[in-house]
Amino acid sequence: MRDLASPLLSICLALLLLASHSQATSYVGTEQCAGCHEQELAQWQGSHHDWAMKVATPETVLGDFNDATFTHQGVRSTFTRKGSAFYINTQGANGEYQNFKIDYTFGVEPLQQYLIKFDDGRMQALTIAWDSRPKEQGGQRWYQLMPNDLGLPGESLHWTGAYYNWNTRCAECHSTGLEKNYSMDTDTFATAWSEVNVACESCHGPGAEHADWARSGSKGDDNGLQVQYSEQLNWVIAKGTSIANPQGDPHQGATTEIESCAACHSRRSKISSSPINNYSEDKTFLDHYQLQTLEQGLYHADGQIRDEVYVYGSFLQSKMHQRGVSCSNCHNPHSLELKAEGNALCVGCHAPETYNTPKHHHHQQADSTGAQCVNCHMPATVYMGVDTRRDHSMRVPRPDIAAQIDAPNACNMCHTDQQTSWSISAIESWLGKQTSSPDPAALAIYAGRANAPDANQQLIDLANNATVNNMARATALGLLHNHPNMASYGAAQQQLKSDKPLLRIGALNALSFLPLQQRWQDISPLLRDPVRSVRLEATRLLMGIGGLDAFQQAGLDKNIARYIEALMANADMPNGQLNLAAVYMAQGSYQQAEQAYQHALRLDSKSVPARLNLADLYRVQGREQRALEQLLQAQAADSNNATVLHSLGLAQIRGKQNAAALKSLAQAAALASEISHYSYVYGIALNGQGRGREAVEVMIRALANDQQNRNLLFALATISRDLGQRAEARDFAQQLVLAFPQDSAALQLRDSLK
């Protein structure tokens, strides 16, 4: 393999430095904007954007620093004030109690956090926050943001650790024109910004050219702003209709606005060095970010919010987005306040005589909780202990679907004393039975996550359903990588040609089931895709491929250089280093890969993925003892991690520690019974030790949850045969043929048992 990592990395660093230099002088600051935009400035002042981050002063600090104390898990923190300066006495990274000066406030309501600056340029956010709600709402107190976190001093989940680092986790969305300026060599930051909070140029882009345009008195169409927002269209409820339609086409303007907001209001990863809304070459969201689709743990199977996903991914699922509704239809873009309160906001587009009535919402009191549109169509979830955020997918409550996919439903979020069946019956009494159509997206995604027998076809049908939102369709395509067959391959091939970049990315994710050497024909054309996130995903899937001619290799190498450049945007995070290491591994650059894994462990000493991957690197190099050491350290960090135990068991087998290996593999199979491969490997190991009957028992239990697993069926047939249980062997072989009728090995095995 060729060692390309070092020259590619040098190219990328040069590109990053060049880009950073070109951005530095184009911001002018809020004061220059104020001269012409007094009304907008007045609306912005006091907003959450204005308060996103401020220097800590008596005017900005809301918390109680009058010798207040707070104790969590035995750690007693004391908040004090000396003149105009604010301090906390608490445990530092070394475990000793120290006084730390509060440098900045972070946010305003319903909570305020506090930042502390260190000599290496890091700013760290305290995990103790001030609940700024009124006292009658439970506020005006110190509280622990993540009460179940057990981060100890020196660990990544401690307030001094990587996951509470402002530079990495928070800065770009709480300040304007931010340049992170991370040095990998020294593991330090020289982070800079144009303005400390979210000011005018966060949304409109750098204002120097616009200010020049204004001073020149030019009447041209180009006003010099990086982000051009169109005039908002009127939405009118025509006579005889119940929902408003726009007077004109809103989609182009809506896309620009929504994608501008999405830079911060989305669950995504950054793939560009440009500050937010400072895009010199293009202005599409997916050229600067990779959007997270409906991943398990982040979203419920029907697309409802679960973890913090920050609105955009939810809104993309909504019918309102499909119609061309934008953020500013409901929110004042400068004050961020809603344009009207309660149902008055919704009836601007939804005729009140149709929707704001008990005939629609079936709650008799007009001012009741159940009569409020948002409580049914935008249910809320509480994050960070006190921060209530509404789901922007704006879906119709479906307790019947929720019951099938183990998801919450808006009805029972209010009626907490009732069962889901009660909500289903109530809706049926209002609307009659069989009035609601199935939800193909929710059911297919749930089936795909659960590896249901019919998941493959459900996911294909969803991926091809143009009436469903692109977030759900892209998610379905991504899930197809767990269901490899010719039908999945055909569905992915079809969507590679979609005009929707999210679907092209989903199709690429699906094709990850192809062996590396079989990917070039389908995937290589997308190395020239017009959208950067698509090109990067295609590059990721082709790294390490062999047998290319000189022209093909040169093209791939250029894309790999750009891929590394994109990864450098997150090189200050453990996962960023893991992604860099994956590039080096694919290129056979083992020394650079090892350095990246070690850097990840420097940032997070308990990173299980880093230790697992580093162990695998040592295994590839034949350094089995070093691999075993890493796996034992990973086990010490997370003793109940099935992946660690499985990998440890395999390493122990290679080291001929058979008894220890069986114990590790048994634990892995028990902890992750849903992963049939772990049970399969444990069964093979048992059989190898002459314990075939136990192996069969283990594999039969796994087969109950994965009835068409080729490895399990093949092993069960052959082990049963070797045990002299030919009738059972024939049954397993017949199941194998039914599941894989074109599999010549399966047919041969079945015939040999006749």
Residue 530's CB is within 10 A of a number of other CB atoms, namely: 11
Tokens of residue 114, six digits:
């506090």
Q: How far apart are CA 6 and CA 24, in angstroms?
A: 28
CA dist list (Å): 679 to 685, 711, 713: 10, 11, 12
- The pLDDT value recorded for residue 9 is 42
Helix intervals (H) in 512-549: 520-523, 532-542
- The pLDDT value recorded for residue 366 is 83
Amino acid, single-letter form, for residue 609: P
Tokens of residue 248, six digits:
């004109």
DSSP reduced 3-state for 207: coil
Tokens of residue 426, six digits:
């109530």
Whole-model pTM above 0.85? yes
- The pLDDT value recorded for residue 651 is 96
Q: How far apart are CA 55 and CA 263, in angstroms?
A: 24
Tokens of residue 69, six digits:
């104390």
Residues 6+ apart with CB under 8 A from 36: 214
How big is the CA angle at 596 (ends 594 and 599), to the nearest 5 degrees?
Answer: 110
Tokens of residue 62, six digits:
């809301």
- The pLDDT value recorded for residue 252 is 85
Ramachandran bin of 139, using left for φ above 0, alpha for ψ from -120 to 50, beta for the remaining angles:
beta
- The pLDDT value recorded for residue 387 is 97
- The pLDDT value recorded for residue 434 is 67
- The pLDDT value recorded for residue 301 is 98
Low-confidence ranges of the chain (pLDDT < 50): 1-24
Residues 6+ apart with CB under 8 A from 752: none
- The pLDDT value recorded for residue 24 is 44
How big is the CA angle at 348 (ends 342 and 351), to the nearest 5 degrees?
Answer: 100
Task: Give the containing element (helix H, strand E) for 352.
Answer: helix 352-355
DSSP reduced 3-state for 227: coil
